[in-house]
Amino acid sequence: MWFKASTLILRYRLPLLLLLLLGTIFMGYHALDTEFDYAFAKVIPKDHPKYINFQEFKKKFGEGGNTLVVSTKTGDHFKKSFFNDWYQLGNELKEIEGVQEVLSVPHCYRLVKNQEEERFDIEPLLQGKVSSKAEMDSIRNLFMDLPFYHGLVYNKTTKATLMALTLNKEVSTDKQVEMVETIKAKGEAVAEQHGIDIHYSGLPFIQSYKVSTISTEIFLFLFLASFFIIVILIVLFRSLYAVLFPALVVGIGVVWALGAITLLSYKITILTALIPNLILVIGIPNCVYLLNKYHAEFKKHGNKVRALTRMIERIGYVTLFANLTTAIGFAVFIFTEVTILKEFGIVAGLMITATFLISLITIPIVFSYLPQPKEKQMMHLDRQFFKGFLDFTTHVSAHYRKLVYSVTILVIIGSLAGKTCSSWSAISMA
């Protein structure tokens, strides 16, 4: 079977490469539409009583979640310079696209008796910037006569004040992140001017922070993992090809993963954000196994085609079962009732399988076009450290079986004991 597979891969190498290229372009096109999930993770099943009660609550009372709060604490909120700047900040924030309404001390409203029509009219507390201390004292007295706002936008005891912004729910996720960053920038300008600390809260801010953090960490972890793996590959193989093309395999796998998330109508969650790193961890060992076998076979007889054929024959089924068991392990999450686990299991299972196929096609075909490996690039096969370590593990496994079994059993018992203790601690705390 694997001999036929190796023959087909090497015989139809150009069509397979073109097919892989077209597939990557297709997946890359859909990867451009990948979005982050703003909603909080649904970590309980949809049929759970708590989840059902929460949905009924939202249906009855609605779901807000579109208010962002900017707050600070000053020695005197009614100092003319700060009051005017706080008022100006509110006006500037209201001009931002997506901000519907602003409520703060300078932007609150009061009821005015209309004697002629025998009704109450609503008018803003402030019509413009305060121009004098007397006007500031008048505004302060007017506000203090409005107990409705006490403890809501101003705390007399702590001198803390807040500004509540109502945001448009229809704004897209990317626009919301940009909008929150603009709000923060304008707020920090006022904070720097008056030497105060400004704090932000509200669901839009938390969601934007979550998305920004996840997107930053995806690239950070991917960069750090890639850097260390590239260093290891350079030290191991001493070849640019052995670094470049495994990295290409991982890059294709990441593009396919992002495209698959979009095609499945999913969004990037805190779990699916781990998939690019998972592709890296799965894809690089596949390439190392294949290249190591290729070099070992070529060193035996010096025939590149035979070495590539043997590489697919001998390592193909090994990597198949290694990747298959890993894919099945992650695919088990499909049977849970937790949405984010189910999505993660589906994408991870599919992409681990896809990464195996990508590496099995890319590495043999690419290296069939490249020159024969040089002696320097195969020096890793004769390094005494690796050979000595492998000989040591083989010797221990063959001659000290009882010791290996005993240590393994002790580790398992210790793990079970630790698990039991942690469970009892959790129960006692509850």
344-376 residue pLDDT tens: 999 999 999 999 999 999 999 998 888 887 777
Q: How far apart (Å, rounded) are the C-alpha atoms in residues 66 and 375?
A: 64
Q: What is the mean pLDDT of residues 137-164?
A: 87
- Residue limits of CATH 1.20.1640.10 in the chain: 2-46+212-382
Local structure of residue 156 (DSSP, 8 states)? T
CA 307 to chain centre: 40
pLDDT grade, residue 424 (50/70/90)?
Answer: low
3-state secondary structure of 197: coil
Choose among 252, 232, 249, 238: nearest CA to 363: 249
Q: What is the mean pLDDT of residues 182-191?
A: 91
Bridge pairing between strands 154-155 and 160-167? antiparallel
Residue 113, φ and ψ in degrees, nearest 5: -75, 130
pLDDT of residue 167: 86
User: Which range scores top for mean pLDDT: 38-52, 97-111, 245-259?
Assistant: 245-259
Bridge pairing between strands 198-201 and 67-73? antiparallel
Choose among 288, 298, 295: nearest CA to 246: 288
pLDDT of residue 339: 84
Radius of gyration, alpha carbons of the chain: 32
**What is the CB neighbour count within 10 angstroms for residue 34?**
16
pLDDT of residue 419: 75
pLDDT of residue 173: 64
3-state secondary structure of 374: coil
**What is the CB neighbour count within 10 angstroms for residue 218?**
19
- Which CATH number does 2-46+212-382 carry? 1.20.1640.10
Residue 174 pLDDT > 60, yes or no? yes
387-411 residue pLDDT tens: 788 788 888 888 888 899 999 999 9
Phi-psi category of residue 269: left, alpha or beta, with phi > 0 → left and psi -120 to 50 → alpha: beta
pLDDT of residue 429: 52
Q: What is the mean pLDDT of residues 4-17?
A: 88
Q: How far apart (Å, rounded) are the C-alpha atoms in residues 244 and 248?
A: 6
Contact residues for 319 (Cβ-Cβ < 8 A; gap 6+): 286, 289, 290, 356, 359, 360
Residue 40 pLDDT > 70, yes or no? no
- Residue limits of CATH 3.30.70 in the chain: 66-201
Amino acid at 140: R
CATH fit for domain 66-201, picks 3.30.70, 2.30.30, 3.30.1540, 2.40.50: 3.30.70
Sign for the CA dihedral angle at 220, 226, 227, 232 comes to positive
Alpha-carbon distances, residue 235 vs 229, 244, 249, 368, 404 (angstroms) = 10, 14, 19, 23, 31
Q: What is the mean pLDDT of residues 289-306?
A: 85
Contact residues for 296 (Cβ-Cβ < 8 A; gap 6+): 381
pTM of the model: 0.72
To the nearest whole number, what is the mean pLDDT of the chain?
85
60-82 residue pLDDT tens: 766 666 888 999 988 778 888 88
pLDDT of residue 338: 81
- Could you give the percent of the chain with pLDDT greater than 90? 21
223-266 residue pLDDT tens: 888 888 888 888 777 778 888 888 899 999 999 999 999 999 89
pLDDT of residue 253: 92
3-state helix, strand, coil in the chain (%, to 5): 70, 10, 20
Take residue 382 and report the two structure tokens written for it.
Answer: 């004769």
201-219 residue pLDDT tens: 888 888 787 777 777 887 8
Alpha-carbon distances, residue 148 vs 67, 135, 155, 162 (angstroms) = 19, 22, 12, 15
Q: How far apart (Å, rounded) are the C-alpha atoms in residues 288 and 413?
A: 35
Concatenated DSSP letters of 90-148: HHHHHTSTTEEEEESSTT-EEEEEETTTTEEEEEES-SS---SHHHHHHHHHHHHT-GG
Q: How far apart (Å, rounded) are the C-alpha atoms in residues 365 and 207?
A: 45
pLDDT of residue 362: 92
Bigger pLDDT: 39 vs 183: 183
**Angle formed by the axes of helices 275-301 and 339-369, to 10°?**
30
Bigger pLDDT: 381 vs 118: 118
18-32 residue pLDDT tens: 999 999 999 999 999
Local structure of residue 376 (DSSP, 8 states)? G
**What is the CB neighbour count within 10 angstroms for residue 253?**
29
